[in-house]
Structure 1
Amino acid sequence: MRRYTNRFINEHNLISGRVLSAIVVLPLSLTIAACSQPNATTADSKPATEPTTATQKTALVEQPQAGIIPVSAHSDTQSTILRNVSATVYKDANCGCCKEWVGHAEDNGLSAAVHDVADVSLFKDRYGVPQQMRSCHTTVTTDGFVFEGHVPAKYMAQFLKNPPSDAIGLAVPGMPVGSPGMEYQDKFMPYKVMQLNKDGSTAIYATIDSPQQQI
């Protein structure tokens, strides 16, 4: 009996030793395995693109933006044919083409005071603009001459240089496409600049058949 008991104890001690060894070795092997894996954090933290060098930054700054024209490039298209003329422009606050026409006139030297009014027709009545000659805005110079609608600066200057004795001003009835302030793509609608007379009559002052005639 004692022999069997000793044998059991020896086998038990042997098994316990093996289990203890396995318990010690297993964490160690896991640690070694973990350390041998690639550093995922380091690999993933690498930037997707390489940093921009100083040379590349300079190239990016110096490259011109497509479609942007320097303001100075437009200076050659401006003139001073209305440089000694001051006028008041009466228009609706929401009229975009009126603003464009004012820009056209100012680019040609006009000194304009713009008034947004609730009822433009009141000023057309005041300054004697016939119903069939009316447009979106009314311009009155300090000399009392009336320019109704999208009259080209060229013809304003021509009229003011030598005003007809029976005239009060000029008008472009309606809003012809392609007239100053009414530019739309490359479209152009021939139109007439009308002379407004003191007696309420009208006459053709100029016939505009092409955009070039407005310049």
Structure 2
Amino acid sequence: MIDLHYWPTPNGHKITMFLEEAGLDYAIQPVNIGAGDQFAPDFLKIAPNNRMPAIVDHDPAGGGEPVAIFESGAILMYLAEKTGRFLPTDTRERYQVIQWLMWQMGGLGPMLGQNHHFNRYAPDKIPYAIDRYVNETNRLYGVLDRRLEGRDFIADTYSIADMACYPWIVPYEAQGQDLNDFPNIKRWFEAIRDRPATVAAYAKGEDVRPSSQSEMTDEQKKVLFGQTSKSGR
């Protein structure tokens, strides 16, 4: 059994997508990031960066004590190695996947996250910041679109690279993007969206999300965006 410490964000969806694809037994432990659950001492023991997702695998390969992993990219690699799925063993194919996973972790996620922040959550609309991150989002979409030309998936087969990137493309309209401008992404996006495991993963997210909440409150924004070095103490 795997405990998944989770909230329905792009990084959280990556992990439920994998777990549903692989058919692994898991239990969601909600981490309400707007309420500050990520600062709970027990959570910080497994995720010292006070970010979800994180997992605790109670049945690791080789037995022994449970294994705790934080950082979504590391979790995807761990699960891929545990199951022998979605990460090739051939060196060339394996590093095709890993380099695009790192591209998402180092570029697509952080830049699109800043797009979300300045477009949706910042109390002051700063034109320079909005333009900066909308334009960078557009550039990264172009990189991905060119990669997907003539390909069904980012690598040779469906992999953790696709699972890492897809959730960040889901809010494309809020990011100021039109998928019609990126036909290869659109084709890829629609194929992944319709996978049964993707449908199941996103349904799990809706089960966790408070049904009464549509917009982030000012107090939740303070919790999420007002963190300092003392926030996790």
TM over 0.5: no
TM-score, L = length of structure 2: 0.29
Which is greater in Rg?
1
TM-score (norm 1): 0.31
